[in-house]
Amino acid sequence: MLRQGLPQNVMRHLLLPILSLLLLTPSCSRKPPKAVVPPLPSVKLEDVPAPASVTVTIPRGSNLRQVATTAYGYEDFSGFVAALNGLADPERVAAGAVLKTPSLPAALRDAGLDPAYQPAFNVLAQTWAELRTALPDYQRERDAAGARDGTTFAITVARSRRLIQCADYMDAALDVLAHPKEGHKLPRSTLGQLAGASGYLRLFATGQVGSMDYDVFLAEKSFGLGFTYALIWVKAHHQ
């Protein structure tokens, strides 16, 4: 007859791996560590660089993309210019039209931005001003290193730190916007675009290259769209 149960030595061999797994498996009640949000730097509105002129007269043959590039450093701020000036069709602007082109945070303030969010947008605008030189510098260093799609180059420590600092400043500002005041809606589109740009900066800082043609393009585009969505959010009374 077969004896009921398993021999002790067999039971031992079965139980030991199970006990080891239980000891190594994190407790379900253990909470993941909270992400450390960098402190928000102090940036006054008047510290943020403004366009050379707070207004621009559209010359014949020009368009909003050209205006946006001159005023804010990138063509995808054309939506921001359109929203700021109440243009229904950004692709059709009459020659001779006079458009407002103040600094980015001043435009948001004048559109009705709640003062609680002003420091965050001052920082985001200042960071964009810094990146207008930092990103071309990064591209020149990347190209000089002979980098290719899907490769990693030896980015200098100074360049890496500069990009990480910009990302840290952005994340601190975005944390403010991620906790809107009671009665205000979360500016999801702005958060999504600018969080994506911050992620690209951290990737650039490692020397990793995803696409020579699109990485920087997408980061810059995210800033233009992020500020455009922010202005729309403000004009909708933060809804």
The residue-averaged pLDDT of 24-37 equals 56
Categorize the per-residue pLDDT at 60 as very low, low, confident or very high, splitting at 50, 70 and 90.
confident
CATH 3.10.350.10 matches 50-103 = yes
The CB density around residue 195, as the number of other CB atoms within 10 Å, is: 16
Angle of CA points 190, 65, 86, to nearest 5°: 65
Give the C-alpha separation, 81 to 71, whole Å: 9
Categorize the per-residue pLDDT at 51 as very low, low, confident or very high, splitting at 50, 70 and 90.
very high
Q: What pLDDT digit, counting tens, does each position of 155-178 carry?
A: 999 999 999 999 999 999 999 999
Categorize the per-residue pLDDT at 16 as very low, low, confident or very high, splitting at 50, 70 and 90.
very low
* Helix, strand, coil share (%) of the chain residues, nearest 5: 55, 5, 40
Angle of CA points 124, 224, 210, to nearest 5°: 95
Q: Which fold has domain 110-235?
A: Four Helix Bundle (Hemerythrin (Met), subunit A) (1.20.120)
Q: What pLDDT digit, counting tens, does each position of 131-156 carry?
A: 999 999 999 999 999 999 999 999 99
Q: What pLDDT digit, counting tens, does each position of 88-97 carry?
A: 877 778 889 9
Which one is predicted more confidently, 40 or 10? 40
Give the C-alpha separation, 74 to 61, whole Å: 19
Domain boundaries, the chain: 50-103, 110-235
* Tokens matching residue 180: 């809107």
The residue-averaged pLDDT of 183-211 equals 97
